[in-house]
Amino acid sequence: MKILISYLLAGVVAASPVLAAGHLHDDVEVRNLSTRGVVGAGEETMITGISVEGPNTDYVSVLFRGIGPSLTEFGVMNAAGNPSINLYKGATWMSSNDDWATGGQSFALRASGFAPTAATESALIANLIPGTYTLHLSGDHIGVGLAEAYFIEEKSVPQNLIDAGSFTTLVAAVQAAGLLDTLLGPSPYTLFAPTDEAFGKLPAGTVEGLLNDIPALSNILLYHVVWGKEVMAADVSKNPVVMANGGVASLTVADGAKIDNASIIEVDWMGTNGIIHAIDQVILPGTAPGDQTIVGNLVAQGNFTTLVAAVTAAGLVDTLNSAGPFTLFAPTDAAFANFDQLWELPPGTIEGILNDIPALTDILLYHVISGAKVESSAVTAGSVNMANGDAATLSTEGGVKINEANVFGVDWQSSNGVIHIIDSVILPPM
């Protein structure tokens, strides 16, 4: 349960329950708040506050606005100019905005229906866990400003796309591919959503051609979805991620967050059944992963160069290209880079292992289950025999792990087996 209470309140302009679906319960008390005050030039005025109570596992979505220039439409002659807002939890700064249209949440704000009318006014959406929050307002000259808080109702991912108005091509493509019911379903997922402008960057006739080739269209659309989990911006790191079409995309954070070649231009747009990150280009899958062998997929993806080099040095390429089937727990390049530190080994240990072919072969085969294609749905906690003859331990509590390694990407399909991506190299018993 959550109780939301206003204080420092000059005037309540609305007092009706607004439930955030899936995150608030029926006995919640909520109000939409509007507080007016005089703000100074460049000086923050604490103008309203909210107390949120309830379990720490829950949150409520609140849209805050700082209004100034549009107050002149209501007869306010000394309205604050270019109002900015800063949100604090206790004494800790959380977020700020001084221009809602360029503040990194413009799509979510438009979809909410509460975006300010003046481009120079401010707004932000925050998911508030229990605590005490204050909203501070300032302007570029002394005048009257309005601070507002709207307790917004979360919508499904497709409804958010429709209401934002900048994803009409994506919505039309989802409908044409017959994926709308899938994206309206309850399963949590992450959607990397290309804008209309992103689709406009494709060569002329591409969209029309895809609308007449539904299998190809579905494959591309599903390559924009991570199924079964919400990948928050804070969780994005330089790692591959398995997409809903079975392909693997690359996430990078250098010079701004990107997925493959597309920049992520808006993050953490929450829906009732998933999360949206807006992107500035359509990302295109490579060769269907199910048509390539395990080694072929590793080579094509690009985040497994050390693993491929090790497999090549150990003479295991032909083995992992054979009929199998195999299940490979594949460490990323980042996993190999952290190998010495993780195992508290002297620097250069990994280079030494690469030159010790028997030891290298033993370690690599300890990442392989031979003769079985073990998909994530079949994983159970317990011991499993690996291809080098030793046993590894699978656990499922708090996420799937093999020994000490976290499995963060599953069911990467290959023609001769399946790949699960892990975050560290595992070592056989000494």
**pLDDT tens string 103-156:** 789 999 999 888 988 888 899 998 888 888 888 888 877 778 888 888 888 889
Instruction: Name the nearest CA neighbour of 420 among 387, 376, 380.
Output: 376
Average pLDDT of the chain, as a whole number: 80
In angstroms, rounded to a whole number, what is the distance separating the alpha carbons of residues 316 and 314? Answer: 6
What contacts 220, CB < 8 A, 6 or more positions away? Answer: 210, 245, 282, 284, 285
Could you tell me which residue, 233 or 174, shows the higher pLDDT? 174
Q: What's the CATH number where 359 sits?
A: 2.30.180.10
Do 411 and 327 lie in one domain? The reply is yes
Say if strands 326-331 and 417-422 run parallel, antiparallel, or are unpaired: parallel
Q: Is the pTM above the cut of 0.75?
A: no
pLDDT given for residue 168 in this prediction: 95
**pLDDT tens string 17-53:** 222 233 333 333 344 565 655 665 556 666 777 787 7
Q: How many domains does the chain have?
A: 3
Amino acid in position 418: V
Do 304 and 231 lie in one domain? The reply is no
Do 110 and 192 lie in one domain? The reply is no
pLDDT given for residue 21 in this prediction: 30
Containing structural domain, residue 270:
157-279
Q: Of 151, 178, 193, which residue constitutes the final position of a domain?
A: 151
pLDDT over 70 (residue 86): yes
DSSP string, 149-173: EEEPPP--HHHHHHHHSS-HHHHHH
Do 201 and 311 lie in one domain? The reply is no
> Residues of the chain with pLDDT > 70: what percent?
83
**pLDDT tens string 207-239:** 888 888 888 898 899 899 988 777 787 776 666
Do 397 and 418 lie in one domain? The reply is yes
> Within a domain: residue 428?
no
DSSP bridge pairs for 395: 401
pLDDT given for residue 111 in this prediction: 92
**pLDDT tens string 298-315:** 887 777 888 999 999 889
Amino acid in position 330: A
DSSP H or E run through 60? strand 60-67
By three-state DSSP, how is residue 5 classified?
A: strand
Q: What's the CATH number where 105 sits?
A: 2.60.120.380
> Within a domain: residue 391?
yes
Confidence of residue 167 (pLDDT cuts 50, 70, 90): very high
Outline where DSSP puts E strands in 104-153: 122-128, 131-138, 143-151
C-beta of residue 64 within 8 angstroms of C-beta of residue 126: yes
Angle between helix 305-313 and helix 294-301 axes, rounded to 10 deg? 140
pLDDT over 50 (residue 9): no
Do 269 and 303 lie in one domain? The reply is no
Do 245 and 169 lie in one domain? The reply is yes
Q: Of 116, 151, 186, which residue constitutes the final position of a domain?
A: 151
In angstroms, rounded to a whole number, what is the distance separating the alpha carbons of residues 104 and 93? Answer: 18
- Sheet with 239-242: strands ordered across: 225-227, 189-194, 274-279, 262-271, 258-259, 248-252, 239-242
Tokens of 130: 């229990």
Q: Of 279, 299, 330, which residue constitutes the final position of a domain?
A: 279
Q: What is the DSSP letter of 28?
A: -
Q: How distant, in Å, are the alpha carbons of 29, 329, 376 from that of 396?
A: 38, 15, 10
Do 316 and 223 lie in one domain? The reply is no
C-beta of residue 207 within 8 angstroms of C-beta of residue 293: no
Tokens of 283: 């990302």
Do 163 and 144 lie in one domain? The reply is no
177-198 average pLDDT score: 89
In angstroms, rounded to a whole number, what is the distance separating the alpha carbons of residues 35 and 57? Answer: 29
pLDDT given for residue 242 in this prediction: 80
Do 7 and 136 lie in one domain? The reply is yes
> Within a domain: residue 234?
yes
